[in-house]
A and B are shown apart, each in its own frame.
Chain A
């Protein structure tokens, strides 16, 4: 038995080391493959210059702006709705409805992205074009709205989890003191649950940043730097998907490694932020 457990221990250790090394290796590989680009003009120029292969410019600045604005806008739209929905499920909704709603939200996480994209293409895009944004209807706002729907379930489930983890005795204490449900939520439950809520928020942001299909189908993929929500934009992920098909040896193809590096670093920063939030809040749950 001891031999078996020791072997198992070693196996698990190897698995842990392996996946950690793999993550590091992916980053090194990205840097290695993106090397010609850095030599071409340095990472700084690459991150700040426009995309114009016809004139020898392979900068990914427009895509960075596109990615960040679509991701942040979608979180901005999705956050209040998700939080409200989580409150409803944990505190305000009729008991019979709460369970059903939560199940519905869980089901929503399993709908493939392409379905959202396709439905939006035929319903939301014509609506935006005719009544709201003009242009082709393929723009930052359209993509963000759909992305907000996509990331809402993830956020709601996280929020519900952390709201429900507030001990019942605390809430009963508020009841005993004659506090209203709203007071209970605002002064006791929210302060206790906020690290979890922030976690959910950052996770939603990460998901919005990493999604490819919604922005590829709905954001228009234009390479100009967007200056308004009603303009088309290309995200880093959509750029990778679009340029993937280019000639292997071309500079266009090399540029996707720069996108990869940026996405990788951005996600890494998000995770560091998550950890910091977790550490800085001993009070929270």
Chain B
């Protein structure tokens, strides 16, 4: 137990270090978008987006200190709701807003990257491959022991996300084929919490955004295809979705500059560096 703990602490430290070292050189002229702009940009919503938002905000704020950017999580549902209610200027979502939401709030959607969602297990787990049918049966509660999949004789600890999660929606639609998720599955609140849960539980099966997959969790291949940047990009791994930043009405001023920055070579490079597939 303590060995795992120590390993986890080490891993988290390693992650922190990577994040701090991975400051990317921005193309200077992309940041010119913000020339003459000032004010506060509040961002909230999808937890998959956060690494990209943080890096982009850091670059913008170091070049233009007059612009303050705050970033909060909450999940796709929160992002759409808060930008609709004008509590934030940019709401992030890992799913398309529903037609009703778009109409009701006058939302404008910007899809700046594509993200896969992959099943993950603990690195100690010998099971690294599942078929779609197996995955659906596990989540439906028909397969309950790792032994049935060639693993050890322990019950499968299932993890899923809350109803408002964009990650959950795409996994449920495209990996589970809209099949049932058994009611006894554990529910966690974010991609980060899912990773922590699976990294700490040797008998866990969960799913995270491909951008979040690192050494602390083992991706599970689905029908022989491992979820990774490459397989999502070339389309061979089918469980993928767009990452959206949403504004209420056409963006103006600093908010417009920030959206444009996400689509600029610098912004797209950040997305790629954080494990997503850029759209340009």
The interface residues of chain A lying within 8 Å CB-to-CB of B84 are 248
Known: A121-B196, A136-B203, A246-B164. A216 touches B189 (CB 8 A): yes
In the complex, whether A126 has a CB less than 8 A from a CB of chain B is: yes
Flag if A125 contacts B162 (CB, 8 Å).
no
Convert B125-163 into 0s and 1s, putting 1 for each residue whose CB lies closer than 8 angstroms to a CB of A. Answer: 000000000000000000000000000000101010011
Q: How far is the CB of B24 from chain A (nearest CB, A)?
A: 30
The interface residues of chain A lying within 8 Å CB-to-CB of B183 are 50-52, 62, 222-224
Q: How far is the CB of B224 from chain A (nearest CB, A)?
A: 28
* Chain B contact residue count (CB 8 A cutoff): 38
Cα(A216)–Cα(B162), bound, Å: 12
Flag if B186 contacts A242 (CB, 8 Å).
no
In the complex, whether A53 has a CB less than 8 A from a CB of chain B is: yes
In the complex, whether A203 has a CB less than 8 A from a CB of chain B is: no
CB nearest to B84 among chain A residues: A248
B77 interface neighbour in A50, A134, A232, A247, Cβ under 8 Å = A247
In the complex, whether B81 has a CB less than 8 A from a CB of chain A is: yes
In the complex, whether A98 has a CB less than 8 A from a CB of chain B is: no
CB nearest to B45 among chain A residues: A245
Cα(A53)–Cα(B181), bound, Å: 11
Flag if B100 contacts A249 (CB, 8 Å).
yes
Flag if A246 contacts B187 (CB, 8 Å).
no
In the complex, whether B28 has a CB less than 8 A from a CB of chain A is: no
In the complex, whether B184 has a CB less than 8 A from a CB of chain A is: yes
Flag if A247 contacts B187 (CB, 8 Å).
no
The interface residues of chain A lying within 8 Å CB-to-CB of B159 are 136
The interface residues of chain A lying within 8 Å CB-to-CB of B229 are none
In the complex, whether B194 has a CB less than 8 A from a CB of chain A is: no
Cα(A46)–Cα(B104), bound, Å: 28
Convert B62-101 into 0s and 1s, putting 1 for each residue whose CB lies closer than 8 angstroms to a CB of A. Answer: 0000000000001111101100100000000000001011
Known: A122-B5, A232-B184. A247 touches B162 (CB 8 A): no
Cα(A246)–Cα(B74), bound, Å: 10
Flag if A245 contacts B1 (CB, 8 Å).
no
A246 interface neighbour in B77, B104, B203, Cβ under 8 Å = B77
In the complex, whether B60 has a CB less than 8 A from a CB of chain A is: no
B201 interface neighbour in A136, A221, A245, Cβ under 8 Å = A136
Cα(A107)–Cα(B163), bound, Å: 38
Size band of the A side of the interface? 35 or more
Cα(A222)–Cα(B201), bound, Å: 16
Flag if B189 contacts A242 (CB, 8 Å).
yes
The interface residues of chain B lying within 8 Å CB-to-CB of A126 are 1, 4-5, 200
CB nearest to A136 among chain B residues: B157
Convert B165-207 into 0s and 1s, putting 1 for each residue whose CB lies closer than 8 angstroms to a CB of A. Answer: 1000000000000001011111111000000110011011000
Flag if B187 contacts A220 (CB, 8 Å).
yes
CB nearest to A234 among chain B residues: B187
Cα(A223)–Cα(B180), bound, Å: 13
The interface residues of chain A lying within 8 Å CB-to-CB of B104 are 249
Known: A54-B180, A221-B187, A231-B184. A243 touches B5 (CB 8 A): no
Q: Could you jot down 26 A-B contacts, CB within 8 Å? A: A51-B183, A53-B163, A123-B5, A126-B200, A127-B1, A134-B155, A136-B157, A136-B159, A136-B186, A136-B203, A138-B197, A222-B185, A223-B183, A224-B182, A242-B162, A242-B187, A242-B189, A244-B164, A245-B75, A246-B77, A246-B163, A246-B164, A247-B77, A247-B81, A252-B163, A252-B164
Given contacts A53-B163, A136-B159, A136-B204, could you give 19 more A-B pairs where the C-beta distance is less than 8 Å?
Answer: A51-B183, A121-B196, A122-B5, A136-B157, A136-B197, A136-B201, A138-B197, A221-B162, A221-B187, A222-B186, A234-B187, A244-B78, A245-B78, A245-B162, A247-B77, A248-B81, A248-B84, A249-B100, A252-B163
Interface residues of A (CB under 8 A from B): 50-54, 62, 121-123, 125-127, 129-130, 134-138, 216, 220-224, 231-232, 234, 241-249, 252
